[in-house]
């Protein structure tokens, strides 16, 4: 087990209509921004973050896929359980007092505040990660030991930066490199680790051959109308039906290829329920 330290019709009517009809789509990845108001007490958030760390450490996880729920479950589209996905890596963490502790650093793709159609890569920590969560539940996917090591090596070498596309869309198509969201970036880092390449053409070709994304079922006209008013929604990278990567589809992908140790939903009571 890992030991660690805890620490009448008008343009306004059309705008309102577009925001309503695209609500189920924008909430699919809402919570992919770094700044959010807490919906739970500081004590609840920090306690839960420590519980997640303890659970991962007990599984001897040195790298795992982590997800949070940034919107109420009832608002999420069918097939989507989490709104933000990232990679947690057991690391040396520099504390405010200058000392170093061991714990999980979380490697995120976050939308840029005030410019939601762009993104940046940001490292934060479990308490930060769950700060704006709607519900204190965590998605946890633990890859096999070999894949964990490959992911750690990829991030150490900066390959997560090499596969970052700063053009953001909440419903990014995982089979091309036109746009990217947090979950697609996580998938790209995983595939970079598996295939030992950062070549986007090869990564997307392999994803199309082996990865099954989530169909987002909604009226295409509604999506197009929404994309005219909302910077982080676009269908330009889709041809036909809308598909995107989700936390659950990543779990299924790893499981189908014998690359996963376990996948669970971990709740505030410390209960871990199988995801798939």
Task: Write out the E strands in 30-160.
Answer: 63-69, 84-94, 100-112, 115-124, 135-143
- Tens-digit pLDDT profile for residues 43-88: 999 999 999 999 999 999 999 999 999 888 887 878 889 999 999 9
Average pLDDT of the chain, as a whole number: 86
Q: Which residues contact residue 206 at a Cβ distance below 8 angstroms, ignoring those fewer than 6 apart? A: 191, 195
CB 47 within 8 A of CB 138: no
- Distance, in Å, from the CA atom of 61 to the CA atom of 275, rounded to the nearest integer, reads 17
Exposed/middle/buried for 156, CB within 10 Å: 0-12, 13-18, 19+? exposed
pTM score, whole prediction: 0.86
- Distance, in Å, from the CA atom of 11 to the CA atom of 13, rounded to the nearest integer, reads 5
- Tens-digit pLDDT profile for residues 4-38: 444 433 443 333 434 433 444 444 444 566 667 89
- Tens-digit pLDDT profile for residues 104-134: 999 999 999 999 999 999 999 999 999 999 9
- Residue 231: its pLDDT value, please? 52
Q: Give the pair of three-digit tokens for residue 242.
A: 């809308």
- Distance, in Å, from the CA atom of 81 to the CA atom of 180, rounded to the nearest integer, reads 19
Residue 223, helix vs strand vs coil: helix
Phi, psi (5° rounding) for residue 106?
-110, 125
- Tens-digit pLDDT profile for residues 137-192: 999 999 999 999 999 999 999 999 999 999 999 899 999 999 999 999 999 999 99
């Amino acid at each position: 087990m890992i030991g660690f330290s805890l620490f009448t019709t008008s343009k306004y009517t059309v705008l309102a209509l577009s925001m309503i009809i695209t609500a189920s789509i924008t909430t699919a990845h809402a919570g992919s921004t770094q700044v959010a108001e807490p919906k739970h007490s500081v004590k609840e958030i920090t306690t839960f973050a420590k519980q997640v760390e303890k659970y991962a450490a007990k599984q001897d996880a040195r790298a795992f896929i982590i997800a949070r729920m940034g919107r109420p479950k009832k608002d999420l589209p069918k097939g989507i359980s989490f709104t933000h996905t990232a990679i947690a890596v057991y690391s040396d963490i520099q504390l405010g007092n200058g000392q170093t502790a061991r714990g999980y650093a979380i490697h995120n793709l976050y939308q840029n505040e005030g410019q939601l159609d762009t993104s940046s890569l940001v490292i934060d920590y479990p308490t930060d990660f769950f700060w704006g969560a709607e519900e204190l539940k965590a998605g946890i996917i633990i890859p096999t030991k070999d894949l964990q090591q490959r992911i750690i090596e990829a991030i150490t070498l900066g390959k997560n930066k090499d596969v970052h596309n700063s053009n953001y869309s909440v419903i990014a198509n995982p089979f091309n490199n036109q746009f990217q969201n947090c979950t697609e970036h996580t998938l790209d880092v995983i595939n970079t680790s598996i295939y030992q390449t950062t070549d986007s053409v090869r990564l997307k070709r392999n994803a199309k051959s082996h990865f099954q994304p989530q169909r987002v079922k909604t009226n295409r006209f509604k999506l197009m109308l929404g994309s005219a008013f909302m910077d982080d929604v676009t269908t330009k990278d889709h041809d036909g039906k809308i598909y995107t990567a989700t936390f659950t589809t990543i779990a299924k992908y790893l499981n189908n290829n014998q690359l996963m140790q376990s996948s669970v939903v971990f709740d505030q009571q410390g209960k871990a329920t199988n995801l798939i």
